[in-house]
Each structure stands twice: as C-alpha cells, then as structure tokens.
Amino acid sequence: MKRLQFMSVRLLQGLLALLVIATVNFLLVRAAPGDPVSVMAGEAGASDAQFVAQLRQQFGLDQPLPVQLGNYLGHVLKLDLGFSYRQQQPVVDLILERLPATLLLTGTAFGLSLLFGIVLGALASRNAGKWQDSLITVVALVFYATPLYWLAMMAVLLFTVQFDLLPAFGFFTVGADLTGIDKALDIAKHLILPSLTLALFYMAVYARMTRASMLEVAQMDFVKTARAKGVAPGRIQRKHILRNALLPVVTLAGIQAGGMIGGAVLTETVFAWPGIGRLMFDALLQRDYNLLLGCFLFTAAMAVLFNLITDFVYTLVDPRIELS
C-alpha cells in the first residue's frame, strides 16, 4: 500500500512537471526567430503573401499565441504530439522510429560509464594518495574537461581515418544487405565509437563521485568497527564502504540517465547516428515546431521516468531509506 501511494504521488508530480515543461518549451520555441512557413516558402521560391497566408492558416499559425498554446496542451493531454510539417508524418511515429537507435546508444554508453566509473573510483579510493589515485584522477579530469564534439572528431580521425579500424558514421553499412548475426555485429562495430565517446565524459563524473564518496564513508564509525573486528580489507571495501557510498552515485546516474537521451545530440550529429538527438537537430534547422516540441517533451518524460526509477533503486542500495 505504501509503495502504491509512493508511486501515485511521484507519478502525479511527474505529470505536473511535464505539463509545465510543455508550456515553457512551447513559449520558448515560438519566441525564436523564424517559423516553418518562412522556411518552406523560401525553399519553394514563393514569396507571394497569399501563399504564405494559406500556409499559416493550414498549420494554425495564424491564430493568437494563447489559442495555439491551448490547442497544443489539449493535444498533449490526449498523447497527441501533432503532425510534422516537413516529414509529413505524425510526430509520435517519427520519434518511435528513432527511439531504438537512441536507446541502444545511450543505454550502452550509460552502462559502460557507470561500470568503469565505479570501478575506477573504487580503485582510486583504495589507493588514495598513491600513483594509481593520481593517474585515475588526472585521466578523469581530462575526459571531464574535454568538449564532447572535439573528442568525437578526434576519435573519427584516429580510429577511422588514420588506422581504418572502426566505421565512423551511420547505424549499419549501407548496401551490405547483411542479416542475422552478421547484421548485429555490423551494428555493434558502428556503435563502438559513438558509445565510447559519450561514455567517457560520464565515466569521469562517476569515477570522481565514487572516489570522493568512498573516502568519506571510509572515515565513518561502522567502518572503523569492522576493521577493529578483523574483517578482511576487501570485504570492508565491497560490503561496507562501496555499498554505502553508492547512494550519491545512483542519484547522479538517475538524473543523467534521462538527460543523456537529449544530450546525445552532438554525438548523434557527429557520427550520423539516426537517433532522437539527430532528429531534434534536423527539426531545429527546419523550424519544424511540432517535431521539435515532441522531441523536447519526450526527452523530458524519459528524465522523469528515470528519476522515478532512481527513487526505487535507493531502497535497494541503502535499506535505511523507506518509501514515503
């Protein structure tokens, strides 16, 4: 009963947050210069005022802004994200078409960054003050400070242009007509560079967070008591220090997991990965309002969902926390 009540409250909070986000996104997008009608009329080479007015009426852009906002929120409440002006398809269909590629990229990057970040952070804390600690700290700081787009371009130049080891662009090899396990391996080869590029930044964050949290927990009384009882150092590190130090790491990971989907725009653009981030970038260039707003709202919904999941993971990582 308590778990059901917790889920209901969190879900209601998430829905209210999404409604506010949808309103703010709509107003911000409408405040930007240009609109889809201007872009479409310019590409068609038609500057006739009557033609432009017909397009505005067709897309509902001739109505007052409050009316447009009300219509948009009404459709959102019905889970209707509208129709793409440029793609001539429902926005939901376009997002769902790109969703598997984005989930594959961000899921792989998230898993790699969390795994290696925690392992490296634990190794650094165990060797605090030694050369291993200094090396891991410096490497993490370098990856944290390096711009993501620069890292992506350097990966392409090194592993594709220079050594020709890995493919740099696309989801699979075009024209290869691969099937089964061969197609899966081809997709995996194309996944290596974008997933590692995206993972390196977050891995650096998790490594630094894990190290700091474990060093803090190592000074607590229950850890000193375990040492006084003669518990093996390895067991103290795993069972006592690491488990209690994971809570802030899980918090940060839960916040970034949802944002990673929207934050993959640069990675997907550089590597021509056909995901939601690339779709969002194209919609921005084309002033496709409905598609852009749909992408924004979808990524926000994913962030809310991952935050809800994080709240449940809290209870698994730290049994002292109860649902309330």
Specify the pLDDT at position 86: 78
Name which of 235, 251, 244 is nearest 312 in CA terms: 251
- List the chain pLDDT tens, one digit each, 324 residues: 566 676 778 888 888 988 999 899 888 887 777 666 666 666 555 566 776 777 777 777 778 888 888 888 888 888 888 888 778 888 999 999 988 998 899 889 999 999 999 999 989 988 888 888 889 989 888 888 888 888 888 888 888 888 888 888 888 887 777 778 888 888 889 899 999 888 888 898 899 899 999 889 888 888 888 888 888 888 888 888 888 888 888 888 877 877 777 667 888 888 888 888 888 888 888 778 888 889 888 888 888 888 888 777 766 666 555 555
Name which of 299, 283, 282 is nearest 18 in CA terms: 299
Which residues is 83 bridged to in the sheet? 90
CB of 260 within 8 A of CB of 198?
yes
CB of 120 within 8 A of CB of 207?
yes
Specify the pLDDT at position 116: 92
Report how far residue 40's alpha carbon sits from residue 46's, in angstroms, rounded to the nearest whole number.
9
Specify the pLDDT at position 165: 85
Helix axes 148-156, 180-217, angle to 10 degrees: 140
Name which of 304, 299, 296 is nearest 72 in CA terms: 296
Burial 195-218 (b: 16+ CB within 10 A, else e): bbbbbbbbbbbbbbbbbbbbbebb
Helix axes 243-262, 91-126, angle to 10 degrees: 150
Strands in 179-308 per DSSP E: none
Specify the pLDDT at position 46: 56
Specify the pLDDT at position 318: 60
- What Å distances lie between residue 268 and 51, 53, 57, 104, 264, CA to CA? 36, 36, 34, 12, 6
In this prediction the pTM is: 0.82
Which residues is 167 bridged to in the sheet? none
> Which domains, and CATH codes, for the chain?
2-77 (no CATH), 92-317 (1.10.3720.10)
Q: Which helix (H) or strand (E) holds 216?
A: helix 180-217
Phi/psi of residue 309, nearest 5 degrees: -65, -40
Phi/psi of residue 231, nearest 5 degrees: -65, 140
